[in-house]
Structures are given as C-alpha cells and as structure tokens.
Amino acid sequence: MSDVLALTQALLACESVTPARGPVFDVLEAALRPLGFQVDRFVVGEAPDGPVENLLALRGSGGPHIAFAGHLDVVPPGPGWTSGAFEPEVRGDLLYGRGAVDMKGAIAAFVAATAQVEGPGTISLLITGDEEGPALYGTRALIDRMAGRGIRPDACLVGEPTSAARLGDMMKIGRRGSVNIWIDVPGRQGHVAYPHLADNPIPRLVAALAEIDAIVLDEGTDWFQPSNIEVTDITVGNPSTNVIPASASARLSIRFNDLHRGEELGARIAAIVHRHAPEAIVTPKVSGEAFLTEPGALSATLAASIEACTGITPELSTTGGTSDARFLAAVCPVIEFGLVNATMHKLDEAVAVSDLRALTAIYADFLRRSFG
C-alpha cells in the first residue's frame, strides 16, 4: 500500500462524506504502520456535526519535525457520475472518484513519499474527517491532542489542491479570513393602508446595507487581494401584497486579508446596522482569520523541490477560500501544495495518474531537503 495509485484507489473506495470515520481511516492506518508510524486515532463530537474521526501519526524523533495535514472527508458526490463516485476507475490517463484531488490523492502521495525517505528527524500526519463540514471536531481537536502530548511541528505542509492549470504552478503561503454575519431587523406588522400603525423594517435594513455596500475595506497588500463584503441573502418572507412585514433579515460574507480581524469587522458591521435599526440583532461568526507565512526557507525549499521534479517555478499565492491551514498557522509555519484543483467538488472528479506519481516525487524531495 505504499504505491501511490493503489493507496489512492483504496482510499477512494471508502465512502467518507463529511463527517467521516471508520473504514477510510482503517485503510490509512494499514498503510502507515508498516512504514514505522505510530498511529493515534480518536473520535470526538456529536451529531449533527459529528462524530468525527481524526488520526495523528508519528515516525522518528528529534528535529526537524515536518508535519503533513489533510482530510479524508469529502463532499457528497451527487447524481450523474459516469461511474460510481466511490468505485475508483482508471480511464485513459485519469483516476476517477470523489476525493481524487480533494484530497485523498495528496494524502496517498505523502504516505508513498515517506516510504522513500529515511534519516533523522520526525514526520507526522495530521488527518481529519471534518474539513469539508463545520470543522468543529477536526484539525482543532488534532491541535489540542498534539498540545496534550507535547508535540509541536517545526513546519507543516497541507496537501490541498493548490495547482491551477499544471501540477506545480501554484502554492499557497496564506489565506484570507472569513466572517459571516446574520442581520435581523424587527418591525411591527400592519396593513399597508395604515402605515402609521405599523413599523416597516425593510427601509432600515436597506439603508444599512447601502452603507455597508459602500465600504472599501482596503486596497489589498503585497500578498493579499483587497478584502470584500458581499450580501449573500435578503429575506422578508412576506406572501401578502397588503401587509407591512414584521421583520427583515440579511446575511453578509466578508473575506478579508491580514489587515483585519474577524471580530473587529463584525463589530463594525453591527455599529452601522444599529445606527439605522437600534433593535436589530447582528450575529457574526468568524470561520477563520487571515494568515500569512512570509516567503522564506519553507517556501523556498518546497519551490526547489517542485522545480527539480517538474521544471516549473510555482507562484506564491493567497487566493481562494479557507482551509484547515487557518488553524495550523497558530502552531507553526504553514504552506499548502497539492494537485490540480480543476475537478474538485465536481462530477467525475479525477486526477492524472502521472500527477500522483509526480506529487509523490515532490513530497519525497521536499522531505529530503527539509532533513538536510
């Protein structure tokens, strides 16, 4: 099971829609133990967002300690697949299956890479079954588990599918933060012909949203694009044409760079809303703060491995959505690199078999360079 194609196929054959546990972790553990890894599996959380299984595997001792983080859970496949989403099939040069690129293929590549690398230092795998979902019981629980055991990596590589057009063309050195905000403006229901006896919440909500929409948070930074605020939902739920509604609601999503903090943005939005609607309820939920791993030794080492194995110089980027790197950035320097992301979350998700082998070579070269 140290062959990257065989291990990827075995992982893909396990139905592991988030929150994941059980058989898919059995497959990974069976591949790791013969390679000398000590495996710690644990389950946390309750329904509806759990239970979630996590796996912490370690091999070696002393420094440097290089960690690899990833997730075995996948998004629901949906109908319409050419072959079964959990029946991996090689057709031509491609291996098909849900999770092929996001991100069972990268996990298999890293495991296969560790089979090629020996020497001093520590290698760990931090694998969760809760990345595609709320991420309540996944990587954060792994971080707590490591802290309880006194484990702290020197650097972490996250195997998310970061490549855009060709394997090796992009790595992530940071990610924007994310905060969602729910706004509920109360009013007083009444007949439209007697507006003085009612209180319409819609004009106050619209005025607040207009002021929010006019905000320019920043112009971007050297490594981050400008932060943006988007209105993602407006709800009144009024089926009648002659009734002033009793309430109106909206939802915002803010993606922000490292000039901001999620809590501060939530407070700023709340202040605007309350100027227009003092009785409004504003509920922010920060799903992750922005982080940046400044270009340096870690990114240079990975870039050298990518160039050596593919001939491509990777772009250093902070684009895209969030990942579990947002949690790991508080533990150690973090960088993300993995397969081409063109088919992730799509029907007939697929990875080029040659990319699986090339990614294995990149990861192995990265480990050798990291261990000197």
> Residue 96, SS3?
strand
Other beta carbons within 10 Å of 313: 12
> Does residue 131 have an active-site annotation?
yes
Number of separate helices (H) and strands (E) present in the chain: 9, 19
List C-alpha distances in Å: 204 to 144, 232, 268, 275: 44, 18, 17, 9
Catalytic one among 53, 130, 131, 365? 131
Q: Which two tokens stand for residue 229?
A: 């605020």
Sign of CA dihedral 233, 234, 240, 241: negative
Residue 255 CA to its chain's centroid (Å): 14
Smallest CA-to-CA distance from 43 within 63, 59, 73, 21 is with 21
Grouping H, G, I as helix, E, B as strand and the rest as coil, residue 310 is helix
Find the catalytic residue in 73, 102, 130, 355: 73
Task: Respond yes or no: is residue 230 known to be catalytic.
Answer: no
In whole angstroms, what separates CA 354 from the centre of its chain? 25
CA distances from 290 to 97, 136, 236, 270, 336 (A): 32, 18, 33, 21, 14
Q: Tally the residues of the chain.
A: 372
Query: DSSP letter string over 128-187?
Result: ES-SSS--SSSHHHHHHHHHHTT---SEEEE----BSSSTTSEEESEE-EEEEEEEEEE-
CB 198 within 8 A of CB 188: yes
Which residues does the annotation mark as catalytic?
73, 131
